[in-house]
Amino acid sequence: MRPDKAHHIILLAIMGDQCYRCGHLVCLLVHFTHFTIDCSKFTISMSDANLLLLIGVLLPPKTLDGLGPVVEERLVQTPYGPFGPVARRSAENLPGVWVGPYTGLPTRTDPRATLFAANQLGARRVIGWDTGIAVNPVLMRGQPVIAGDFIDFTFREPSTFANELARGRQDERKMLVPRFCPQLTGALQKMLPIAPSVTYLGIDDLRRETPAEARMYRLWGADVIGQNLVPEVLLAREAGVCFAGLVTVGSHSADLPSPTPYGELRAGLEMAMEVLPDLIRYLGMLPDCTCTDS
């Protein structure tokens, strides 16, 4: 790609590595067709890493070594603020993967910056790994679940690239039903067959839910509450990027009993972490997905 020429593309990738303050990891990838990037200011990564992992769970520092050593680190500057630092990990028998910390707090990185940075990193698939609060009483602490649908209950975070997308493309995208990528979701289900599909309620508030709110969410059909998958899934859909969500149940909602923990959360995180190398390898064998066009 010539640095003196503007191009009408945007790729969004999500990558993740542990945040030592909050333990979250996140990344995103986007593909725009009517957005001009000045290539004299931005560099597109030509690495083999087309997957961005957004890890919103607390992991021990060495846990991610199973994805290979860190071969590159980036702090990506975007029109929405900086994103990163993010790390590219690569193992001899695995495709490369971008990994970066991600926090669901209202003061976090602008999710549009995450998606813009994913584009710069060359990631076309994004998986968010979040810690959730179980509203469904059947779900247990430490249990992995896969986001099959979602409810957007966010108010502070931007959920559209309206000003950046050409009007025609924007209207076309908004006619599509927001959803998680079936191909990525299917890959997660293949690697974690014990993980049920759930409805994810996305919030952007620091405080916990009240018992009355928890009962209301349950009536809405929500199974888990979290902060790291919405509005990212909306932005990814609009931008043409594949996005899926993995959630590890960390606690129960305020109206449910909270049993004494006996290491269930750690065991659940280890279970999900063990399948990540196989997941990355499997995704590397799949054809390009077309879910963002339908």
Give per-residue pLDDT as tens, 77-134.
988 888 888 999 999 888 999 998 887 565 677 888 888 888 888 889 999 999 999 9
In a domain, 1, yes or no: no
The band of 43, judged by pLDDT with boundaries at 50, 70 and 90, is very low
In a domain, 293, yes or no: no
Domain, as residue range, for 218: 6-287
The 3-state secondary structure of 83-100, one letter per residue: EEEEEEECCCCCCCEEEE
In a domain, 292, yes or no: no
Tokens linked to 17: 């590595």
Nearest residue to 206 via CA among 59, 107, 58? 107
In a domain, 200, yes or no: yes
Domains held by the chain: number? 1
Give per-residue pLDDT as tens, 234-285.
888 877 789 999 999 999 999 999 888 899 999 999 999 999 999 999 999 9
In a domain, 267, yes or no: yes
- For position 247, which CATH number holds? 3.40.50.1580
The C-alpha atoms of residue 225 and residue 78 are separated, in whole angstroms, by 29
- Phi, then psi, of 33 in degrees rounded to 5: -110, -15
pLDDT score recorded for residue 22: 42
* 3-state SS, residue 281: helix
pLDDT score recorded for residue 119: 80
pLDDT score recorded for residue 173: 56
Give per-residue pLDDT as tens, 76-92.
898 888 888 899 999 98
In a domain, 294, yes or no: no
pLDDT score recorded for residue 178: 79
**Average pLDDT of 66-74?**
93
The C-alpha atoms of residue 102 and residue 86 are separated, in whole angstroms, by 10
Nearest residue to 179 via CA among 161, 197, 157, 195? 197
In a domain, 32, yes or no: yes
Helix 167-174 vs helix 232-239: crossing angle, to nearest 10: 120
Give per-residue pLDDT as tens, 137-177.
999 999 999 999 999 999 888 887 766 554 455 556 556 77
